[in-house]
Structure formats: C-alpha cells, structure tokens
C-alpha cells in the first residue's frame, strides 16, 4: 500500500514475482477518519481482487518522505487505523514512498546492492494536493542517505494558478534541490499528476545540465504500466512485504511497514 495526502493505492505481490496494481481509493480531509476508511477500503480491495476468501492480516505501507520524518503522531494514527481494520502492525523497514519507488524501478531486494560508485537519485512527487522533491544518495553498498527535501502544500495541481508563476516556483525549487549535487543519476516521478505535460517540461528545464538520460523517469519507464507513478510505491511495498515473509515471522500475508 502507498498513502499520499488524499488518496491511497494498493498492489498485490504473487509468489512467482508478479506484482499487480489493484485499486486507488480517494480519501478524506479528516486525517484519523481518512486513515481508517482508507486502510479498510484498500484492504477490502486487495481481498476482493485475490478471491474474496483470502484474509489480509498485514500490509506494507509507504508514505511521503517528509511525513515519515515527522514526530510519532503520524505513525500512531496509522497504527491505530491498522488495528481498527484488523491489520497487524510491525515496524520492520524504513520505507518512504520515494525510496520504495527507486527500489522497485531497480528491482532491488532487501540485500544491499553493490554499485561502482555513489549515485544521486531525485524523486519528484506531484499530486493534486502537494509538490515534493527528495534528493538522496545511494552509496557503493546500497545504503541510502537523504540529502534534501522540499515540500509545498501550495504547489499541488489543485492550486494551479493562471499564468506562469506556479511552474516558475516549481522550477526554482527543483533547481535549489539539485544544486546539492553535480549530477542526477536517476529521476523518479510520483503522484497522480506526474504525467502532466507542463509539469514534465518544467522538470526537464529545471534539471538541464544535471540529468541527461533520455529513457528514464521522464520518457521511458514512466510510460510503462509497471512503473505507473501512482502505483509504483505500492508495488514495492507489496514486493518487500512478500520478501519479508520469507523470514517466517508467522504472518499469513504482508508485513506492515512504518517509516522511521
């Protein structure tokens, strides 16, 4: 599962390695109520997709990186919501939506990935309610370190204003974030407005000189159903949860993940 500000998505991972996007559920402005209703509906969607008889007892959850770094209130709300709908909550892995999307795009396992050199990854989340850019580094041993986070609740597509000011501010914020590195090795777009053509052009303009790949992020993987920016984080949550089950924690389905 992946929870954003006002909608959630759920995906299911099968033993043969197939990961399927199942449903997207709209949320509510009332956060606590929204969390319970969202998890309940996502859980029901997954169970209905499976066969209607399989009971989901736990689930992997990702959230935007900026929310995962807040105080424990957000985690407590999710824990109570999970318990309310019959999901077992077990903190097991620090998994923000942006990092989950990166791992899914690379097909990474829980085991560290050995790289030739440190790489910089930029994840840009553009939805109806917010804009967020997260720059993180992946070192030679696969360890991730967040370098810069910039989020605005006034730059979501819902707040799009006439004229160029909206896109100018997004461009400037992106340029400030990427100024922390010399080159972007991978770009990941997230959110239900990530395929907006003006947004894509703005990202291209902001990253000129930092990111030159033509078949990644903007034009390549994002057009594939498997890398749909709305579902990619939920797919990684499902995939990682299924792999964690191989460690035999006594659960009959996925493990509920809360970012630290």
What the chain holds in terms of domains, given with CATH numbers, is 2-96+231-245 (3.30.420.40), 112-224 (3.30.420.40)
Give the pLDDT confidence score for residue 252 in this predicted structure: 41
Q: Are 32 and 85 in contact (CB under 8 A)?
A: no
Distance CA 128, CA 169 (A): 16
CA distances from 118 to 60, 68, 135, 236 (A): 28, 24, 13, 22
Give the pLDDT confidence score for residue 196 in this predicted structure: 92
Q: Indicate the SS3 state at residue 42.
A: helix
Distance CA 147, CA 180 (A): 8
Helical (H) or strand (E) element with 38: helix 31-50
Distance CA 184, CA 102 (A): 13
Distance CA 223, CA 207 (A): 19
Distance CA 187, CA 184 (A): 7
The tens-digit pLDDT sequence of the chain (260 residues) is: 766 656 778 888 888 888 888 888 776 556 667 777 878 888 888 888 888 777 777 676 766 655 555 445 566 677 777 778 887 655 433 456 666 677 666 665 544 455 566 788 888 989 888 898 988 888 776 677 778 888 888 898 988 876 789 999 999 999 999 998 888 888 888 888 988 999 999 999 999 888 865 444 454 444 445 567 778 777 777 776 666 665 544 444 443 333 32
């Amino acid at each position: 599962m992946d929870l954003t500000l006002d909608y959630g998505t759920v995906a299911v991972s099968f033993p043969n390695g197939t990961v399927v996007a199942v449903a997207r559920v709209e949320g509510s402005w009332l956060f606590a109520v929204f969390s319970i209703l969202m998890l309940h509906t996502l859980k029901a969607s997954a169970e209905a997709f499976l066969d209607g008889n399989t009971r989901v007892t736990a689930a992997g959850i990702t959230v935007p990186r900026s929310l995962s770094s807040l105080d424990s209130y957000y985690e407590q709300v999710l824990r109570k919501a999970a318990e309310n709908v019959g999901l077992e909550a077990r903190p097991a892995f620090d998994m923000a939506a942006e990092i989950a999307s990166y791992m899914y795009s690379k097909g990474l396992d829980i085991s560290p990935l050995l790289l030739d050199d440190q790489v910089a990854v930029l994840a840009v989340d553009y939805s109806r309610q917010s804009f967020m850019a997260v720059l993180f580094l992946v070192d030679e041993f696969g360890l991730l370190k967040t370098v810069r986070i910039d989020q605005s609740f006034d730059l979501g597509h819902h707040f799009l204003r006439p004229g160029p000011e909206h896109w100018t501010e997004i461009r400037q914020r992106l340029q400030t974030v990427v100024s922390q590195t010399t080159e972007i090795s991978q770009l990941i777009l997230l959110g239900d407005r990530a395929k907006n053509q003006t947004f894509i052009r703005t990202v291209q303009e902001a990253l000129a000189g930092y990111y030159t790949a033509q078949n990644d992020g903007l034009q390549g993987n994002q057009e594939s159903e498997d890398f749909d920016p709305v579902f990619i984080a939920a797919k990684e949550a499902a995939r990682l949860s299924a792999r964690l089950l191989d460690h035999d924690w006594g659960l009959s389905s996925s493990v509920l993940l809360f970012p630290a």
